[in-house]
Amino acid sequence: MIAIRELHEIGEFEQVMALFENIWHFDPGRQPITVELMLALAHAGNYVAGAFDGDRMVGASVAFFAAGSALHSHITGVAGAPGAGLALKLHQRQWALDRGLARVTWTFDPLVRRNAHFNLAKLGARPHEYLPAFYGVMDDAINQGDESDRVLAVWPLTAPRVEALVRRGPVPVAVPASAVVALADEDGWPVPGPRTDAPAVLVAVPEDVERLRHADPGTAKAWRHAVREILGGMLADGGKITGFHDKSFYVVERT
């Protein structure tokens, strides 16, 4: 049974740093958070929480208050504990609601399928903005050698789809019958379709970009640039990502 609790002590924040280091293997001096900053954030009333399997910390999340009645989730990591990520997000949601907040926001790599599925299909968040090279050059073990494109996810905490997912879990995304493939995965390579101007399109992402970064960095780079051009371009032109289909494709609609 996964238990979630807020963290307040130096020793707890040191556990968080050890967990994050084990996940990302940051280069010295390139950590996105520190023990001292977590202490300051928690003391100022922001969100710092850990997920525990018994006495063992298996996940943690750090978030801070943001403009527009929102909580911005800066970093969340989970290691070796199925269900801990969802438990953390649901705890974070309730924490925000208890403080009168309407939204939780965070950034994620649009090429990582499991994150897109989790954020869109399980939580009901929606990407609102494409952010090329948002964090500059990243040298951790997961992102090394790739550009740090991100999308900004917005989680409207009381939206009907979010409340339905919280109560009942994910349901298959509705794909418009007229949808065309704007970016396909053909034998692991990104291949643009003939149309990106249709009212509804599907944009593929690679099966495992983290493996590609190490095994075939050229293909990983091709995916990065193709998704940036097509998905980022459609978001910039007013397209809306309305779901993630078959754990493989973003569904983008123009209204």
Average pLDDT of span 214-221: 93
Burial class (CB in 10 A: 0-12, 13-18, 19+), 135: middle
Residues 47 and 121 in one domain: yes
The last residue of one of the domains, among 140, 168, 196, is: 168
The last residue of one of the domains, among 133, 168, 203, is: 168
Q: What total of structural domains would you count in the chain?
A: 2
Report whether pLDDT(146) > 90: no
Residues 187 and 134 in one domain: no
The whole-number pLDDT of residue 171 equals: 78
| CA 87/CA 111 separation, integer angstroms | 23
The candidate with the shortest Cα–Cα distance to 231, out of 206, 208, 211, is: 206
Residue 135 φ then ψ, to 5°: -100, 15
Structural domain that includes position 198:
180-253
The share of the chain scoring above pLDDT 90, in percent, equals 82
Helices (H), the chain: 10-24, 35-43, 84-98, 113-116, 160-168, 209-215, 217-227, 233-236
CATH number for 119: 3.40.630.30
Residues 130 and 27 in one domain: yes
Query: Which is more confident, 100 or 199?
Result: 100
Residue 173 lies in a domain: no
pTM of the model: 0.92
Report whether pLDDT(143) > 60: no
Q: Give the model confidence (pLDDT) of 41-82 as tens digits.
A: 999 999 999 999 999 999 999 999 999 999 999 999 999 889
Average pLDDT of span 24-32: 86
| CA 235/CA 210 separation, integer angstroms | 24
Where residue 141 falls among pLDDT bands split at 50, 70, 90?
A: very low
Average pLDDT of span 106-120: 96
